[in-house]
Amino acid sequence: MAAIIDVRHVHKAFGGLKVINDCSIQVEQGSITGLIGPNGAGKSTLFNIIAGALPLDSGQVLLDGEDITNRPANELFHKGLLRTFQIAHEFSQMTALENLMMVPPAQDGENLFSAWLKPGLVRQRETKVRQRALEVIEFIGLHHVRNELAGNLSGGQKKLLELGRTMMTDARVVLLDEIAAGVNRTLLGDLVSNIERLNREMGYTFLVIEHDMEMIGRLCDPVIVLAQGSVMVEGTIDEIRNNPEVIEAYFGSNVA
Amino acid sequence: MNELVFFINNVIVAGSVTGSIYAIGAIGVTLVFSIMRFAHFAHADMMTFGAFMVLLLTLAFPGVGSVVGLPTPVVMLPLAIVLTSLLAVGIDKAFYKPLRAHGVKPIVMVIGSLGVTLMLQGLIRLFAGTSAQNLYLGGERKEIYRLELPFELATRPVIVTEPQVILFVLTIACVVGLHLFLSRTRLGKAMRAMSDNPDLARASGINTNHIVAVTWVIAGGLAATAGTLLSLDVTFKPDLSFFLLLPIFAAAIVGGVGHPYGAIAGGFVVGFAETLAVFNWSVLLRPIAHHFPEWLELPRNLAFVGTEYKIVVPFFILVAILVWRPTGIFKGKVI
């Protein structure tokens, strides 16, 4: 299988603090790859670099062979690279449904020309987008709050909305940043099966940051362990669980 | 009855004129704030620049207006709007964009915009001189409409001038157009999205650079409109709009900064407060003066503040409203 995301020798420092240190990872096409590591390992920074939210100091990021180093997030979106945020982001002054409707694949109406001169066409697409948004909101179980302002939703509901956003368009790779945090157990089961379904049926590739080892174990293969800004080890969840180095990094040397 | 006519002329008409100008100006200030999160002090001089473009175009093509039956400056306004929008986008590219790219704090942008203000004012002075100039050139005259009231006692007419009528029409057009734009079009919604959460907007595929440019185009267009209509109502001067800067900011904040409908409300609140404050109330009280006790003599001039202190009124309103509602009349922050 080919690597759809290829991170090559990336370095990133904040002031004197080297957060990412010669880090190279590959995410295989069609996989659900887990990214774990102790706090401060640089997981979120690496995510932000891949997603175009942070400029890197040196190195290269490739998406399906194409150099996307330091490209802005909106460009990556149109190339099919989507992300969710660790702290759920939402358009607080729009309803849940409008939030989803902000993300159709092609931002057609953003062209002033078509907005004024082809209102029929725009309306037709708007209807299609609304239809899709209604399906998605049903799917993520937020149908009953679809007309609430997104700012008033609970933390867990905002997380679901984040996942819903990635389902509005035909993504190739989705970066999920702690999507399970703050979501209750029953919803979590739905979330996991939704992710698996998107992976199987729609061919989405996922890169997942997660602290919940149970969820990682259920979803991810392979799993990459990040420590001190570079890859410590990579393998299946069982290999990771039994790796003495990983145990040391997580629990300290005296446990192992 | 003539006292009532006096009131209509000096408060209703004058307040609507001032309010409209403040409202159009404040919408521009508030839009720039909601997208770029800084107070753009050069907005007033963009207004003057727009009016200056109209002056130049009117000098270049005098008498064009008579063909369509409108004053020439009004016919030239669309062109001035385009030019001012280009100027706004150009200023952003040259001065604000490099600052944004460095991720500076908003206060640095504010100081930068003060620099732009001084520069623009200097440039306009350089070419236009410092004296007042009438936009009605080459024999064109300001039409004055005298509306007789259908009451026997009202011998004096309500007076509205042609530029004032045009101002009211264009204000309504701007407000309705902006509302439709923000609520109906995808681009307008993308603007709301960006003002709400720029990171998420980018992650949702919205090109935020594009939105910034569109914001400047709209702000420039509104500035040119406000500046021109103001110069038509009075005269063109290089420092004309600069003195409106503070009331316009007061209007934007009163309405809830970042909120365009708030800016409209704020503009009219400040405009009417100003005219009411300098209005001579003794004119209205005079007809009923004979009911007053003898010791109470009606002074000749009974205004809350003298005209020379007019500028304090917006700030009084500003403080009063912010105490009552700290985020402005409409809750500000997001479009």
Number of structural domains, chain A? 2
Read off the pLDDT band of B297 (50, 70, 90): confident
CB-based contact A94 B199, cutoff 8 Å:
no
> What SS3 state is found at A235?
strand
Neighbours of A256 (CB within 10 A): 13
In our burial notation (b when 16+ CB lie closer than 10 A, e otherwise), range B278-298 reads: bbbeebeeeeeeeeeeeeeee
Flag whether A166 is in a domain.
no
Identify the residue among A92, A102, A174 best suited for mutation to test binding to B, counting B beta carbons within 10 A and taking the highest.
A102
Distances (CA, A) of A33 to A25, A153, A229, B25, B258: 10, 29, 18, 52, 42
Which domains, and CATH codes, for chain B?
Answer: 2-324 (1.10.3470)
Q: Which helix (DSSP H) or strand (DSSP E) does residue B88 occupy?
A: helix B72-91
Does the residue A162 lie in any domain? no
The minimal CB distance from A92 to the residues B196, B202, B207 is found for: B196
Q: Is the Cβ–Cβ distance between B161 and B142 less than 8 Å?
A: yes
- List of chain A residues whose C-beta atoms are within 8 Å of the C-beta of residue B196: 91-94
| CB-based contact A109 B210, cutoff 8 Å | no
Which residue stretches of chain A have pLDDT < 50?
107-110, 255-256
In a domain, A8, yes or no: yes
Q: Which residue has the higher pLDDT, B16 or B296?
A: B16
Chain B window 65-124: which residues touch A at a Cβ cutoff of 8 Å?
none
Task: Give yes or no: residues A71 and A185 share one domain.
Answer: yes
**Cα separation of B183 and A238, whole Å?**
52
- The pTM (predicted TM-score) of the whole model is 0.88
Give the contacts of A165 (CB within 8 A, at least 6 positions apart).
A82, A84, A99, A100, A103, B204
Instruction: Give the C-alpha distances (Å, rounded to integers) separating B194 from A153, B31, B252, B258.
Output: 20, 11, 19, 12
Contact state of B186 with A78 under an 8 Å Cβ cutoff: no
Same-domain pairing of A45 and A114 = no
What type of residue is B184? R
Are A143 and A17 in a shared domain?
no
Q: What is the pLDDT of residue A9?
A: 94
Residues of B in contact with A107 (CB under 8 A): 186, 190, 205-206
The DSSP code for A85 is -
A106, two tokens: 């092609």
What are the start-end ranges of the E strands in chain A? 3-14, 17-28, 32-36, 58-63, 66-67, 81-83, 173-177, 205-209, 223-227, 230-235
Mean pLDDT of B169-185: 91
pLDDT in tens, B257-286: 888 889 999 999 999 999 998 888 887 787
Residue type for B70, please?
L
* CB–CB contact A107 B197 (8 Å): no
For residues A78 and A175, state if they share a domain: yes
- Mutant choice from B196, B217, B218, B330 vs A, greatest count of A C-beta within 10 A: B196
B214 CB contacts (<8 Å, ≥6 apart)? A112, B187, B191
Q: Taking all residues of chain B, what is their mean pLDDT, rounded to a whole number?
A: 89
A166 CB neighbour count, 10 Å cutoff: 23
Question: Angle, nearest 10°, between helix axes A155-167 and A119-139?
Answer: 130
Helices and strands in chain A: count of H runs, count of E runs: 10, 10
Question: Do A83 and B203 make contact, defined as CB atoms within 8 angstroms?
Answer: yes
What does the pLDDT read at residue A111?
Answer: 54
Spell out the residues 6+ positions from residue B301 whose beta carbon is closer than 8 angstroms to its own.
B280, B282
- In chain B, the percentage of residues whose pLDDT exceeds 70 is 98
Residue A7 confidence (pLDDT): 93
Interchain proximity B202–A53, CB inside 8 Å: yes
What tens digit of pLDDT does each residue of A120-146 get?
777 787 888 899 899 989 888 889 999
Residue B318 and residue B250 in contact, taking contact as beta carbons nearer than 8 Å? yes
Helix (H, G, I), strand (E, B) or coil at A82: strand
- In sequence order, the 6+-apart residues with CB closer than 8 A to the CB of A71 are A52
Look up residue A19 and give its two tokens: 């957060």
Domain housing A114: 91-152
Query: Which secondary-structure segment (H or E) carries B31?
Result: helix B14-36
Which has the closest alpha carbon to B305: B278, B274, B273, B283? B278
What residues in B contact A83, CB-CB < 8 Å?
Answer: 203
The residues pairing with A20 across neighbouring beta strands, listed in sequence order, are A12
Under the banding of pLDDT at 50, 70 and 90, the label for residue B69 is: confident
The model's confidence at residue B154, banded by pLDDT at 50, 70 and 90, is confident
**Hey, are the CB atoms on A110 and B193 less than 8 Å from each other?**
no
Q: Are A223 and A216 in contact (CB under 8 A)?
A: yes
In a domain, A161, yes or no: no
Q: What ipTM was assigned to the predicted interfaces of this complex?
A: 0.85
Residue A157 is assigned to a structural domain of this protein: no
Using CB atoms, pick whichever of A78, A85, A112 lies closest to residue B205: A78
From the candidates A93, A101, A125, A127, which should be mutated to test the interface with B, based on the most B CB atoms within 10 A? A93
- In the sheet with A17-28, reading across from the earlier edge strand, the strands are A17-28, A3-14, A58-63, A66-67
d(CA B283, CA B90): 50
Q: What is the DSSP string of B107-121?
A: HHHHHHHHHHHHHHH
At B104, phi and psi to the nearest 5?
-75, 165
| Same-domain pairing of A176 and A148 | no
| Cβ–Cβ < 8 Å for B240, B50 | no
Tell me, yes or no, whether A200 and A144 share the same domain: no
Residue A176 has φ and ψ, to the nearest 5°, of: -105, 120
Please indicate, yes or no, if residue A209 is contained in any of the structural domains.
yes
Is the same domain home to A13 and A136? no
Instruction: List, in order, residues 6 or more apart from A94 with CB less than 8 Å away.
Output: A102, A149, A150, B189, B192, B193, B196
**A163 in a domain, yes or no?**
no
Q: Which of B27, B76, B28 is nearest to B220 (CA)?
A: B28
Q: Is A194 found in the same domain as A176?
A: yes
* Cα–Cα distance for residue pair B270/B319, rounded to 1 Å: 12
A96 in any annotated domain = yes
A96, A222: one domain: no
Cross-chain Cβ contact B196/A94 below 8 Å: yes
| CATH number of the domain residue A203 falls in | 3.40.50.300
pLDDT digits (tens, 9 = 90+) for B191-230: 999 999 999 999 988 899 999 999 999 999 999 999 999 9
Question: Do residues B285 and B302 make contact, with C-beta atoms less than 8 angstroms apart?
Answer: yes
Asked if A99 and A143 sit in the same domain, the reply is: yes
Residue A222: asked if its preceding bond is cis (omega within 30°), the reply is yes
Note whether B202 contacts A: Cβ–Cβ < 8 A. Answer: yes
Judged against a pLDDT cut of 90, whether residue B47 lies above it is answered with: yes
pLDDT of the residue at B2: 80
- Whether the Cβ atoms of residue B273 and residue B173 lie closer than 8 Å to each other: no
The pLDDT assigned to A109 comes to: 45
> Are A115 and A234 in a shared domain?
no
The mean pLDDT value for B234-251 works out to: 89
Do A50 and A22 sit in the same domain of this protein?
yes
pLDDT digit string, tens, across residues B90-149: 999 999 999 998 889 999 999 999 999 999 999 999 988 888 888 887 677 788 888 887
Q: Do A102 and B193 touch (CB under 8 A)?
A: yes
More confident residue, B66 or B1: B66
